[in-house]
Amino acid sequence: MSTENLRNGPDILTIRGLTVSFSGFRAISDVDLDVKEGEIHVIIGPNGAGKSTLMDLITGKTKATEGDILFKGEEITSKDPGVIASKYHIGRKFQGPNVFDNMTVFENIEIALGGYTSIPKAFAYRRRAEQKSKIEDVLRQINLYDQRDMMASELAHGQRQWLEIGMVIAQSPELIILDEPAAGMTDTETYKTGQMIKELAKEHTLIVIEHDMEFVEQIADYVTVLHQGRKLAEGPFSEVKNNKKVIQVYLKDDMDEEGD
């Protein structure tokens, strides 16, 4: 199947000439990127390649020195993170799980859904039937419905990662960014996470940063490889894994590390 056939549909995210410098060091340099609606677009690259910085730029945490970021054709390059999250519906999960340990799994999703936004609202809040239904639907999507009354602190590491993914889903983002969602998981948890991500792609577009090549092969519709802040290669995983430049600067490094 050709790359063109794999990438039908309009762009949801368009990046052109994106550059960011820190004290003269270019962490991202002249990057172009297109993400199609409904695809799982995986970003890979060695440590220090600029993957997380690129996500910081997309979500407004870091401001670009040069270039443009467009979401569904609208410029978001200089927007604040809160605006990007709430108005443009871009959600992000960071690498480590960040959940409320002293609350139940259900309550964590409820907070993300917007049940409690301030102390006065928390006292006045009354759960509506449609909210409960939405929370339960999210819990089923992340395989935690049976654990809904457990404290978040009681969950296994992989389940905590799923819970944070659920907290992102609860905000109904159009674009979900996941930073190493399978980090620290068992093989079984990693596979289940891949299945979960593929199900999410039926309703959302996803950008995933990942190192595990088996996991990338499981989930990726399209892969972009970064190296030293620049785009090195891109295409379907079957093409990228056989790219000589990628093997030299990235996959070879992984194999060398495994042999150490």
Nearest-5° Cα angle at 110, 198 to 206: 25
Over residues 195-220, the mean pLDDT reads 95
257 CB contacts (<8 Å, ≥6 apart)?
A: none
CB 9 within 8 A of CB 38: yes
Say what the pLDDT of residue 255 is: 47
Amino acid letter at 75? E
With CA atoms as reference, report the closest residue to 165 among 153, 148, 182.
Answer: 182
With CA atoms as reference, report the closest residue to 206 among 243, 176, 232.
Answer: 176
Answer left, alpha or beta for residue 80, where phi above 0 means left and psi between -120 and 50 means alpha: beta
Q: Is the pLDDT of residue 114 over 60?
A: yes
- Residues 136, 2: Cα–Cα separation, whole Å: 39
Domain assignments of the chain as residue spans, ordered by start: 1-89+175-260, 97-172
With CA atoms as reference, report the closest residue to 222 among 212, 234, 232.
Answer: 234
Give the model confidence (pLDDT) of 39-48 as tens digits: 999 999 998 8
Number of other residues whose CB lies within 10 A of the CB of residue 222: 20
Q: Is the pLDDT of residue 89 over 60?
A: yes
What is the percent of the chain with per-residue pLDDT over 70, rounded to a whole number? Answer: 87
CB 137 within 8 A of CB 143: no
Mean pLDDT of the chain: 88
- Fold for domain 1-89+175-260? Rossmann fold (3.40.50)
Q: Is the pLDDT of residue 257 over 70?
A: no
